[in-house]
Amino acid sequence: MKKIIFLSVLLITVLGFSQTVLEDFDGTAPSFTTNNGLGSASIVADPLNGSNMVGEVISAAAGDPWQQADLIMQNNLMDLTSDTTVDVDVYSTTAINILSRIEDNILNTSGFATADAQHTGTGWETLTFDFTQLPDGGTAANGEFSQISFFPSWVGGGAGNNGTNNNWNDPVDGITFLVDNITAVAGTSLPIPTCSDGIMNQDETGIDCGGVCAPCDVPPVNAAPTPPSRAAADVKSIFSDAYTDIGVDTYDTTWCPGTTSDVMIDGNATKKVIGLGCEGVEFLTGRFDATTFTHFHIDFFTNTPTMDKSFNLKLSNWNGGGGEFNAIEFSTTNASSPPLPNPNPGTWISLDIPLTSWTPGLRNDLVQFIITSDLGTVYYDNLYLHKDTVLSTDDFASVDFNVYPNPTTDKWNIKTNGQDITSVRVFDMLGKNVMSVTPNSNSVTLDADALPSGLYFARLTSESGTKTVKLVKQ
């Protein structure tokens, strides 16, 4: 049954507001779902008028007494600021009591309210739910709401025909009823602009960023600072082109919501994390004993204002087992030592932290590294532990790499002036590592046949230093 409200114009004139049908199930199908073991919540044809669609609620026999059907508004919120009632057309051939609950899961500002109504079992009836009654708790409606729920097993309101289990049905038989024409004062139009809707709206200066949203992501112009030259035995590198990295299984764990990708910043491979929150790096393949190491280092960059923010670091120690035995942690804030700079300097922030400043604990079997932060998008590089030793300037300056032919159509040859090349890592323009070799020789040949034509960057590492060179594949 489709109800037309003829007095809407008069109501607008007299009261300043009017109720309108916010959902009639005839257009785009709304979200109408089951909860707490409800048998089904679906959209079906009206048994009295097959051309109209309605919502059908069926409880599960012997099911959870808190069974409910949840309907989410799709065009307007329900505004119960001035009129606290919602009218619902309900079809049933048996007398039933129905409990309804309204809440908001979009603005998240209105709490919840409850109301009940009695159906006499005569077919289509219009039930009015007054959300100041609160028969099952909540706060008297005064705001906008996005969801209305229906509970088929309610026996409040002085009628006990639905069951005998306190206020709830002791469900022996399933209960079926239909709902239509959810009618209330129309509130804010949906969808409400948010910082995650993929549209540049509100006062945003970019898509889902700027204005009321987080700052827009502006990648750093310059690469992270180049680490000093250190002996290989004095460094455990998790991610840094300056040193040879341990075996890392993933920089983007599934158990944290952050997402990490590879980008190239000024010719240097860099990690970009969005969705902090939390992000984890797991290196079961390269787990290592850091007992004799003295310092932790990371370079990171963010556009987010740093006042009253934190950048929290955790190293998970498994002690030779299959899971975390203990963890050591350090929280970088405006007041820590070293501090999170305030204001944001707009440049790379370098943290070189003595491990004695971390929470105490074993570090004989490090397997995971975790960042938690409220800084939003973060870029990082040069993630490693070290023993606070540096090779001499003369040793570093003596490293000389010769690459030829460059450009090439098939192969690049690389030689040093006597020192062995310990690793070569080649990256494309997007920062993807497309080739890695560990020659441990003073010369190496890279096969470029399988690579597309374009510009690449090679990080060449010897015992005394690392350099980045550009490679061109014709």
Tell me the C-alpha distance between 377 and 344, whole Å: 14
Residue 115: both structure tokens together = 């109301």
**Domains parsed from the chain with CATH numbers:** 8-189 (2.60.120.430), 232-386 (2.60.120.430), 393-473 (2.60.40.3080)
Tokens of residue 212, six digits: 């009321």
Q: State how far the Cα of 3 lies from the Cα of 20, in Å rounded to an integer.
A: 10
Residues 6+ away with beta carbon under 8 Å from 261: 252, 271, 272, 274, 431
Contact (Cβ atoms closer than 8 angstroms) between residue 70 and residue 105? no
Tell which residue, 234, 371, 361, 386, has the closest CA to residue 295: 386
- Asked whether the beta carbons of 318 and 324 are under 8 A apart, the reply is yes
Backbone angles phi, psi at 356, to 5 degrees: -70, -15
10 Å CB burial of residue 258 (0-12, 13-18, 19+) is buried
Residue 470 corresponds to which tokens in the numbers above?
């550009």
Residue 379 CB: number of other CB atoms within 10 A? 20
What tens-digit pLDDT sequence spans the chain (474 residues)?
A: 444 443 444 444 444 469 999 999 999 999 999 988 888 999 999 988 888 999 999 988 766 777 899 999 999 999 999 999 999 999 999 888 899 999 997 776 768 999 999 999 999 999 999 999 999 889 999 999 999 999 987 876 543 334 444 444 444 457 899 999 999 999 999 888 877 777 788 888 887 888 888 778 899 999 999 898 888 899 999 999 888 899 999 999 999 989 999 999 988 899 999 888 899 999 999 999 999 999 999 999 999 999 999 999 999 999 999 999 999 999 999 999 999 999 999 999 999 999 999 999 999 999 999 999 999 899 999 999 999 987 654 444 456 778 889 898 999 998 887 678 888 888 887 767 788 888 888 889 999 998 999 888 887 877 666 777 888 898
Q: So what's the pLDDT on residue 391?
A: 66
Q: Which residues contact 197 (CB under 8 A, 6 or more apart)?
A: 191, 208
Predicted pLDDT of residue 416: 82
The dihedral through the CA atoms of 330, 332, 333, 335 has a sign that is positive
- CA-to-CA distance for 456 and 408, rounded, in angstroms? 12
The predicted structure's pLDDT at residue 463: 67
Token reading at 62: 């012997």
Question: Which of 163, 175, 178, 157 is CA-nearest to residue 71?
Answer: 178
Helical spans, DSSP H, in 57-130: none
Structure tokens at 345: 């300097």
DSSP symbol at 356: G
- Tokens representing 337? 């030592």
